[in-house]
Structure 1
Amino acid sequence: MQFESLLSMLIVGAVAGWLSGKIMEGRGFGLFGNIIVGIVGAFLAGLIFPALGFAVGGGMFASILHATIGAVILLFIVGLIRKA
């Protein structure tokens, strides 16, 4: 993995985690937690969306959208587990 791809993955994860924290009413985990949530959310969306036949396209905006949707799903699941 090259440095540029690692850096872009961290940036996309940070933006997606921040956006998902805003969408889910402040359920974020801080800067590093949001990066992790964004990266894991992107991985989760990468598994779920192709199985459902949903594609968001390519590029940076599509990557952020993809990761944000996955991070929102992840934060929702974490919220359900916390309540239980």
Structure 2
Amino acid sequence: MHWLWFILIGAAAGWLAGLLVKGRGLGCLGNILLGIVGGVLGGWIFRQLELKPAGTFVTAFAGAFVILLVANLVSRK
């Protein structure tokens, strides 16, 4: 059951980050992968800044948002 929540939160965080940065989602699998990787990156970022995240969704969203921003900067050059 834990993995189901992990996937659902990752999908929602990836979809919202894609919507805000790109103006659209990345597809079901893309949103899930982005959210899961974003959760790992977001957790690392919050630990480095010595901040306690507000929750799993916020952490995954923050990481996914950063991933998409960096991807946009790299792809423009």
TM-score, normalised by the number of residues in structure 2: 0.89
- Who is 2:57 aligned against? 64
1:28 Cα deviation from its structure 2 partner = 3.5
Any stretches of 5+ residues in structure 2 without a counterpart?
none
Does residue 42 (structure 1) correspond to residue 39 (structure 2)? The answer is yes
The equivalences for 1:1-84 within 5 A come to 4-26=1-23, 28-57=25-54, 62-84=55-77
1:53 Cα deviation from its structure 2 partner = 0.9
Question: Deviation digits for residues 31-83 of structure 1, max 9, x if unmatched?
Answer: 110110010001001111111111124xxxx1111100110001001111211
Any stretches of 5+ residues in structure 1 without a counterpart?
none
Question: Deviation digits for residues 1-35 of structure 1, max 9, x if unmatched?
Answer: xxx11111100100101110122142532111011
SS of 2:25's partner is coil
Distance across 2 between alignment mates of 1:65 and 1:45: 8
Aligned residue identity for 1:67: A
| RMSD of aligned alpha carbons | 1.3
Aligned residue identity for 2:51: F
TM-score, normalised by the number of residues in structure 1: 0.83
Distance across 2 between alignment mates of 1:66 and 1:48: 9
